[in-house]
Structure 1
Amino acid sequence: MTVLSDRALGRATLARQLLLDPAGMPVEDAVSHLGGLQAQEPQEPFVGLWSRLCAFDSSQLSGALIGRRVVRTHLMRRTVHLVTAEDALGWRSRHDAMLRQRALGAHRRELAGVDLDELAAAGRAVLADAEPRTMGELVRAVEGRWPAAGRRALGEMLVAALVPVVQIPPRGLWRTRAGVRNVLLSAWLGREIAPPAPDGADPVGQALVRRYLAAYGPATSADLRAWCGLAGLPAAVAAVRAELVGFRDEHGRELLDLPDAPRPGPDAPAPVRFLPAFDSAILGYRYRGRIIDDAHRGLSVAGERVVLVDGRVAATWNVDRDATVTVTPLRRLTPAERSESAEQGQALASFLSDGESDRVEVTATD
Structure 2
Amino acid sequence: MTVLDARELNRATLARQLLLDRADVPALDAVAHLGGLQAQEPQEPFVGLWSRLRAFDPAALSDLLVRRDVVRTHLMRRTVHLVAADDALAWRARHDAMLRQRVLGVYRRELDGVDLDELAAAVRAVMADGEPRSMAGLARALAGRWPAPGPRALGEMSVAALVPMVQLPPRGLWRVKAGVRNVVLSSWLGREIAPLSPDRSDPAGQALVRRYLAAFGPAASADLRAWCGLAGLPAAVAALRGELVSFRDERGRELLDLPGAPRPGPDTPAPVRFLPAFDNAILGYHDRGRIIDDAHRGLSVAGARVVLVDGRVRATWIVEADTVVVTPLRGFSRGDRDAVEEEGQALASFLSDGDSHRVRIAPPP
TM-score, length-scaled by structure 2: 0.99
Q: In structure 2, the residue corresponding to 1:289 is in which secondary structure?
A: helix
Match of 2:217 in 1: 217
Task: Report the CA distance between 1:149 and its aligned residue.
Answer: 1.6
1:111 is matched with which residue?
111
Q: Give yes or no for contact 2:43–2:175 (8 Å, CA) kept in 1.
A: yes
Inter-partner Cα distance in structure 2 for 1:58 and 1:171:
14
| Equivalent residue, structure 2, for 1:126 | 126
Work out whether 1:72 is the aligned partner of 2:62. Answer: no
What's the CA shift string for 1:237-291, capped at 9, x where partnerless? 0000011111111111111111110000110000000000000000000001110
The 2-side partners of 1:250 and 1:198 are apart by 38
Q: Secondary structure of the residue that 1:269 maps to in structure 2?
A: coil
Q: Which residue of 1 aligns with 2:63?
A: 63
Trace 1:338-353 onto structure 2 (pairs within 5 A): 338-353=337-352
Q: Which moved more, 1:108-117 or 1:66-75?
A: 108-117
Q: Is the 8 A contact 1:347 1:358 kept in 2?
A: no
Structure 1 vs Structure 2: percent identity of aligned residues?
76
Match of 1:203 in 2: 203
Displaced runs of 4 or more, over 3 A = none
CA distance in 2, matches of 1:16, 1:70: 21
Say if 2:277 and 2:306, in contact at 8 Å, map to a contact too.
yes
Question: Which residue number in structure 2 is paired with residue 258 of structure 1?
Answer: 258
Is contact 2:196-2:204 (8 Å) kept? no
| Match in the other structure for 2:357 | 358
Is 1:267 matched with 2:259? no
Distance in 1, matches of 2:10 and 2:356, equals: 32
Counterpart in the other structure of 1:41: 41
TM-score normalized with structure 1 length: 0.98
Q: Secondary structure at the match of 2:205?
A: helix
SS across alignment from 1:277: coil
Residue identity opposite 2:39 in structure 1: A
CA contact (8 A) 2:201 2:239 kept: no
* Cα offsets for 1:126-154 (capped at 9, x unmatched): 11111111111101111110111221000
Alignment check: 8 A CA contact 2:200 2:235 kept = no
Q: Distance in 2 between matches of 1:120 and 1:109?
A: 18
Number of the residue aligned with 2:135 = 135
CA deviation digits over 1:39-94, x for unaligned, max 9?
00000000000000010011010000001000000000000000000000010000
CA apart distance, 1:201: 4.2
Gaps of 5+ in 2: none
CA RMSD of aligned residues (A): 0.9
Aligned position for 2:326: 327
Partner Cα distance (1:187, 1:316) in 2 = 40
Letter in 1 for 2:46: F
Partner of 2:234, secondary structure, is: helix
For 2:172, give the aligned amino acid.
G
Residue in structure 2 matched with residue 230 of structure 1 by the alignment: 230
Code of the residue aligned with 1:25 in structure 2: it is V
1:305–1:316 contact (8 Å) kept in structure 2: yes
The aligned amino acid for 1:352 is L
In structure 2, what is the Cα distance between the partners aligned to 1:278 and 1:125?
34
Match for residue 151 of structure 1? 151
Question: What letter matches 2:250 in structure 1?
Answer: E
**Alignment map for 1:14-29 (pairs within 5 Å):** 14-29=14-29
Q: Secondary structure at the match of 1:110?
A: coil
Any conservation in 2 of the 1:272–1:307 contact (CA below 8 Å)?
Answer: yes
**Which residue is equivalent to 2:288?**
288
Moved more, 121-130 or 66-75: 121-130
Q: AA paired with 1:169?
A: P
Matched, 1:303 2:303: yes
CA distance in 2, matches of 1:358, 1:23: 25
Partner-residue secondary structure (3-state), 1:25: coil
Distance apart, 1:199 and its partner CA: 5.0
Note the C-alpha offset of 1:364: 2.5
Give how far 1:365 is off.
Answer: 3.2
C-alpha separation in 2, matches of 1:113 and 1:354 = 53
| Whole-Å separation in 1 of the counterparts to 2:356 and 2:211 | 38
* Structure 1 CA distance for aligned equivalents of residues 231 and 310 of structure 2: 35
C-alpha deviations, 1:13-44, integer Å up to 9, x for none? 00000000000111110000000000000000
Indicate the larger mover: 352-361 or 149-158.
352-361
Q: Which residue of 2 aligns with 1:193?
A: 193
In structure 1, stretches of 5+ residues that fail to align are none
3-state SS in 1 of match to 2:155:
helix
Quote the residue 1:246 is aligned against. 246
Partner of 1:53 in structure 2? 53
| CA distance, structure 1, for counterparts of residue 108 and residue 227 of structure 2 | 24
Mapped partners of 1:136, 1:179: distance in 2: 11
